Structure 1
Amino acid sequence: MDYGFSGRKALVLGASRGLGAASARLLAEEGAQVFAASRKGALPDWAGGLDVIPVAVDLTDPAAVAAIGAQMAAEGIDILVNNCGGPAAGPAAGQGTAGWQAAFAAMATPVFALTDAVLPGMVARGWGRIITIGSSGVIAPIPNLALSNGVRGAVAGWSKTLAAEVAAKGVTVNMVLPGRIATDRVRELDQGKAGKSGQTLEQVEAESRAAIPAGRYGKPEEFAAVVAFLASAQASYVTGSMIRADGGLLRNL
């Protein structure tokens, strides 16, 4: 399938590893020029022969985010993949104001700011794709991930609201909600659970697999395929949606 990425420019946040890297790679392989944003701004090792431009940005630094936003607006970004790392695990009780403010500043504020920076250009051209990587915790809160559940829930509300505002202007706004995808982040969470529960990492992973109807963790490239579809010309009538890529993990209607 021709996704229609030829001549399109994409900005992918958190493109150095995990879901961001997989998404950036597939967009580039399918013909988009990809600005791969990460803290270090290094060219990914998979980028050989592809039109990939590394971008250095610390998403926790508002000044850096504003500068990159201005640069990307000037570039004329057509596809924005919002992807911010998750906060530390922990319960809802006792987090304190500082913890919530830090999580919001790291996971929500840069998403809002960069979207606002590139959106006017999308509207002016009559074409744009805004895709935000969320979490299954938006649908069914994940135990001991209170900060992530709360902040990503706020981002979901923003995404749905924005989708309605720009739907008639050729811009779609969607979220992709990963379940248990085999990334470094998920492995770190599994290791943390193992350390607290006295189980081995293998036991924790086995328990997780048993709860997934597909019987396994997802592959980053499987997740990236959903992102690529939502970024495609073919997905022009899909907006305001939250697409689950979780192997059937969530049973919610």
Structure 2
Amino acid sequence: MDMGLRGKKALVLASSRGLGKAVASQLALEGADVMLASRSEDKLAAVKEELLALGGGGRVEYVATDVTRKEDIAALIQTTAEQFGQIDILVNNSGGPPSGSFESLTDEDWERAFELNMLSYVRLIRGVLPHMKTNGGHIVNIASTSVKQPIPGLILSNTFRTGVFGLAKTLSQELAPYGILINTVAPGRIATDRIRELDTARAEQNGVSEDEIAEQFRKEIPLARYGEPEEFAKAVVFLLSGANTYITGASLVVDGGMVRAL
């Protein structure tokens, strides 16, 4: 299948590692021009070289960006448009908020999570719209399985990731007249640094090893294993590609069947 991505201009957030890097890699393999963004310039430079070595033929650039700063987002979008001439694809992504119970979290924790996991998505979508309204575009917001089933101990994620899905569902109607498709993809237990960090925290709380925690989760996953970042990325890239012409406002759970909710 021709994914129709060669020459498309993509902006991928939090792309120096984990799920964002995996999505950026798949886009680069398909021949898209990819703008990387995260806070670490050193990591971005290394990922740029990795993506160019894949041989997809597209350009790879990067801008060090803190998505909690609106001026950084504005500069990122301006640079992407100047470098690539247009923006066809936006992949909203951000690091997960800290774990904790309702009573353990402060106002500052809530404000930080809102800026990182909700407001940054709003600002980035608002910023790319002028570049997509003429020729259409594809937006994917990376969230969490908490959009379908709350995760114990992750009240910040449960709150703001669900808000991201509500935002995308609403925008799917507002943006449809411009040919802009927007979807939410919810990763489950994908083998990234973020999941390892959560497993470590849970292991410490329960006085057991990380391996025991991972084994408990594997028993809850019908496919009996954690997913690989590349598997997640391929699902995202389909939604971003020319092969997707009629899916918008959807939430796609990529979790090996772990979530039981309909």
TM-score (norm 2): 0.93
- Check if 1:118 corresponds to 2:128: yes
Select 1:97's aligned residue among 99, 107, 120: 107
In structure 2, what residue type is equivalent to 1:177? Answer: A
CA offsets 1:7-27 (integer angstroms, 9 cap, x no match):
210000000111000000000
The count of corresponding residues between Structure 1 and Structure 2 is 252
Tell me which residue corresponds to 2:37: 37
In structure 2, what residue type is equivalent to 1:29? Answer: L
Greater CA deviation, 240-249 or 88-97? 88-97
Tell me which residue corresponds to 1:78: 88
- Check if 1:176 corresponds to 2:185: yes
Greater CA deviation, 97-106 or 26-35? 97-106
Greater CA deviation, 67-76 or 214-223? 67-76
3-state SS in 1 of match to 2:183:
strand
CA offsets 1:183-242 (integer angstroms, 9 cap, x no match):
000001000100110011110000000000000000000000011100111111000000
3-state SS in 1 of match to 2:102:
coil
Greater CA deviation, 10-19 or 49-58? 49-58
Tell me which residue corresponds to 1:210: 219
Tell me which residue corresponds to 2:50: 46
**In 2: Cα distance, 1:141 partner to 1:195 partner:** 21
In structure 1, what residue type is equivalent to 2:7? Answer: G
* Aligned positions of 1:124-135 closer than 5 A: 124-125=134-135, 127-135=136-144
CA offsets 1:21-72 (integer angstroms, 9 cap, x no match):
0000000100100001111232205222452112211112222122213333
Tell me which residue corresponds to 1:5: 5
**In 2: Cα distance, 1:228 partner to 1:132 partner:** 12
How far did 1:94 drift? Answer: 4.1
Tell me which residue corresponds to 2:233: 224
Tell me which residue corresponds to 1:19: 19
Task: Give unpaired runs (5+ residues) of structure 1.
Answer: none
Task: Give unpaired runs (5+ residues) of structure 2.
Answer: none
How far did 1:148 drift? Answer: 1.0
**In 2: Cα distance, 1:57 partner to 1:132 partner:** 17
How far did 1:168 drift? Answer: 2.5
In structure 1, what residue type is equivalent to 2:250? Answer: S
In structure 1, what residue type is equivalent to 2:129? Answer: L
**In 2: Cα distance, 1:46 partner to 1:225 partner:** 18
CA offsets 1:67-110 (integer angstroms, 9 cap, x no match):
21333344411000000101111012342322211110111111
Select 1:164's aligned residue among 173, 180, 192: 173
* Aligned positions of 1:189-200 closer than 5 A: 189-200=198-209
**In 2: Cα distance, 1:46 partner to 1:196 partner:** 37
Select 1:201's aligned residue among 196, 210, 213: 210
How far did 1:6 drift? Answer: 1.4
Select 1:247's aligned residue among 245, 253, 256: 256
Greater CA deviation, 145-154 or 86-95? 86-95
* Aligned positions of 1:136-175 closer than 5 A: 136-175=145-184
